[in-house]
């Protein structure tokens, strides 16, 4: 048996007996739920993060991610199946290292791989023979082999010979009560046959369904394709909304009728813009990479333009409604934005269009406050640092009557829409929250 085969068989055996230790780097919306799923299936897990506050919360059994119950987290910590640290030198104790760090874009829509690069440099400091390194962060095809591999091989160790490398895209959907890490099918690909077998064995022990593909580049393309699909279709209904609006046609009624067709149609819904960690960002990774091949990505770029324009369209509709219904300029108006999170029933504000809406309203002289039952105060964000620390107002009659308009940006189920309709002078609804509940009125405008 060759040395490589021996390393492979040894790690495979430890995976099968659950004696392998996993290390998860990045304990956010992807990493912490993944760490819990791994620990729940009998593995010991060490979590790594640069934020010491997260480490303290984990040690106290306090979950800061809604998808992770505090009871489950505290149980794994108490039983010794999970611990967290800021000490990346402990990566040498891990047999499997999984990278779950952010992959944002720059202002010019170019990939920002700085988090991946820094993480790989940290791994390289303690990389040893026989380890399996897996990237889960969404990125363009070729990143695992061209970026991760090249950094790790600067140690003198070789992928497929001394250590094993793979890619398995995260598929988290915050707020989804039907699907969680353990029952979402897992795409896996290794850099080489032995790495692929290790990924299948490891993730097969953690999730119900594993879907192997032929290469890491293919796996990277799978994730981008999923998000491009959503971005393009959302852009389509956003554009249709604007067109039908001009014609006096309700896009929501059109979609509800169209989705009765049992074949050839899938409903997507318009909104005030795109939010979250995937759809507003990931398609541009493919756009950027396609330039290397001198190939245009016209659909993707056009979809980005349409979706990025939606917050301005909403603010224009708000200004128009204030003028026509109240005879008042936006510059002299107080606006209550309902919903700060990027989607309903979650506290996640990453790339939320609500932040852009607030910025645009205030740039035009309006005054804004917000209410969100899931976001008590605005945390620090890269683009909207000036909003940090703003507090969610309580949704009461006294509060609402003090505003000229209410702008529904996120349709949380926890909101009492009937009461809100009764208290408000003017409502601009970007989510059809009132229409779906059969609440109508001359003061309710869809946007």
Catalytic positions, please?
Answer: 278
Residues 6+ apart with CB under 8 A from 98: 22, 23, 24, 25, 31, 34, 134, 136
Are 214 and 193 in contact, with CB atoms under 8 Å apart?
Answer: no
Residue 374: CB atoms within 10 Å: 19
Q: Please write down the HEC assignment for all residues of the chain.
A: CCHHHHHHHHHHHHHHCCCCEEEEECCCCCHHHHHHHHHHCCCEEEEECCCHHHHHHHHCCCCCCCCCCHHHHHHHHHCCCEEEECCHHHHHHCCEEEECCCCCECCCCCECCHHHHHHHHHHHCCCCCCCEEEECCCCCCCHHHHHHHHHHHCCCCCECCCEEEEECCCCCCCCCCCCCHHHCCEEEEECCHHHHHHHHHHHHCCCCCEEECCCHHHHHHHHHHHHHHHHHHHHHHHHHHHHHHHHCCCHHHHHHHHCCCCCCCCCCCCCCCCCCCCCCCCHHHHHHHHHHHCCCCHHHHHHHHHHHHHHHHHHHHHHHHHHHHHCCCHHHCEEEEECCCCCCCCCCCCCCHHHHHHHHHHHCCCEEEEECCCCCECCCCCCCHHHCCCECCCCCHHHHCCCCEEEECCCCCCCCHHHHHHHCCCEEECCCCCHHHCCCCCCEEEC
The residue assigned the tokens 């318009």 is 270
- Judge residue 362's burial from the number of C-beta atoms within 10 Å of its C-beta, 0-12 exposed, 13-18 middle, 19 or more buried: middle
């Amino acid at each position: 048996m060759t040395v490589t085969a021996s390393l492979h068989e040894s790690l495979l055996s430890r995976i099968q007996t659950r004696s392998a230790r996993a290390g998860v780097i990045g304990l956010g919306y992807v990493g912490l739920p993944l760490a819990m799923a791994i620990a729940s299936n009998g593995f010991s897990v060490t979590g790594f993060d640069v934020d010491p506050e997260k480490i303290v919360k984990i040690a106290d059994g306090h979950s800061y991610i809604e998808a992770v119950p505090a009871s489950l987290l505290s149980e794994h910590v108490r039983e010794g199946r999970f611990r967290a640290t800021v000490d990346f030198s402990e990566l040498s104790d891990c047999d499997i290292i999984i990278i779950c760090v952010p992959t944002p874009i720059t202002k010019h829509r170019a990939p920002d791989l700085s988090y991946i690069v820094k993480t790989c440099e940290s791994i390289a400091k303690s990389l040893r023979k026989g380890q399996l390194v897996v990237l889960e962060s969404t990125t363009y095809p070729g990143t695992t082999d061209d970026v991760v591999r090249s950094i790790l091989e600067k140690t003198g160790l070789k992928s497929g010979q001394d250590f094993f490398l793979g890619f398995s895209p995260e598929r988290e959907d915050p707020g989804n009560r039907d699907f969680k890490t353990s029952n979402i099918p897992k795409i896996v690909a290794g850099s080489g046959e032995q790495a692929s077998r290790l990924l299948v064995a490891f993730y097969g022990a953690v999730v119900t369904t594993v879907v192997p593909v032929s290469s890491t580049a293919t796996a990277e393309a799978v994730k981008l394709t999923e998000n491009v699909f959503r971005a393009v279709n959302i852009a389509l209904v956003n554009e249709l909304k604007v067109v039908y609006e001009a014609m006096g046609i309700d896009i929501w009624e059109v979609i509800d009728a169209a989705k009765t067709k049992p074949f050839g149609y899938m409903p997507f819904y318009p909104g005030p813009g795109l939010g979250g960690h995937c759809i507003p960002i990931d398609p541009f990774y493919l756009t950027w990479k396609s330039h290397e091949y001198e190939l245009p990505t016209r659909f993707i770029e056009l979809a980005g333009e349409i979706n990025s324009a939606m917050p301005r369209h909403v603010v224009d509709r708000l200004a128009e409604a204030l003028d026509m219904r109240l005879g008042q300029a936006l510059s002299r108006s107080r606006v209550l934005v309902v919903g700060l999170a990027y989607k309903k029933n979650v506290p996640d504000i990453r790339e939320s269009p609500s932040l852009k809406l607030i910025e645009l309203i205030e740039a035009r002289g309006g005054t804004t406050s917000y209410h969100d039952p899931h976001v008590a105060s605005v945390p620090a964000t890269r683009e909207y640092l000036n909003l940090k620390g703003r507090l969610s107002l309580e949704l009461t009659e006294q509060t609402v009557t003090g505003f000229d308009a209410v702008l529904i940006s996120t349709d949380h189920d926890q909101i009492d829409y009937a009461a809100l309709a009764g208290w408000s002078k003017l409502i601009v609804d970007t989510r059809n929250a009132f229409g779906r509940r059969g609440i109508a009125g001359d003061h309710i405008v869809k946007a």
